A and B are shown apart, each in its own frame.
Chain A
């Protein structure tokens, strides 16, 4: 199985801050198969970015993704109050099982 490791596990930030979350795969994966999700407490995850850098319809442009190979990044350019949540990366490369990172909790400083 491909292991996905996110860092940091949690972070504290203020409204307006630029936030970067990293996701590392245990082996090289095509950027076409790296996705990012946002999960608010008590709610289902929501797809933010697919194929490493493509913004899902309706997702604000302050969210962006990049990366290739084993290293990927989710960036929030200017943190808004509604962005305080947990973020997960996921790989869907070639064959299952699909795996998620352990999550990064973004908290208010």
Chain B
């Protein structure tokens, strides 16, 4: 059973960089076939796809956030991470890491529990 767990600061100041790590257990990021994703949910709102990374390092980002987002992977630690720069209050959200199985014709089949990140001074 694959499990994902987000970790990182719950409070970030405006203009700073939001940094989160997702630790994967029960499966190897390096096994291939899956895309390791970040998805966020603004308070009381719907889901927004931020981007994903493949174990080899290739990444894709939402154009609406692309200039501020970096997703990276550390296969030795079975982790992947999110950095979102120049944050504002509009970036306050629950951030989920997840496994995307679209290459298998499936959806996002495993999710972390989510972590609330508040942007405030």
Q: Do A and B bind each other?
A: yes
A residues in contact (CB < 8 Å) with B: 1, 32-33, 35, 37, 43-47, 50-51, 54, 56, 88, 90, 92, 95-103
- On whether the beta carbons of A100 and B51 are closer than 8 Å, the reply is no
Query: Which one, B60, B64, B105, B113, contacts A51 given CB within 8 A?
Result: B105
Chain A proximity of B100: nearest CB distance (Å): 7
B residues in contact (CB < 8 Å) with A: 46-49, 51-52, 60-64, 96, 98, 100-102, 105-109, 111-114
Q: Which residues of A contact B96 (CB under 8 A)?
A: 44-45
Q: List 23 A-B contacts (CB under 8 A).
A: A33-B105, A35-B106, A35-B108, A37-B108, A43-B113, A44-B98, A44-B111, A44-B114, A45-B111, A50-B105, A50-B106, A51-B105, A56-B106, A56-B107, A90-B47, A90-B108, A96-B60, A97-B63, A98-B100, A98-B102, A100-B47, A100-B49, A103-B46
Q: In the complex, A34 Cα to B62 Cα: how many Å?
A: 18
- On whether the beta carbons of B46 and A102 are closer than 8 Å, the reply is yes
Q: Which of B51, B98, B107 has the most CB of A within 10 A?
A: B107
Considering the complex, give the chain A residue whose CB is closest to the CB of B62: A97
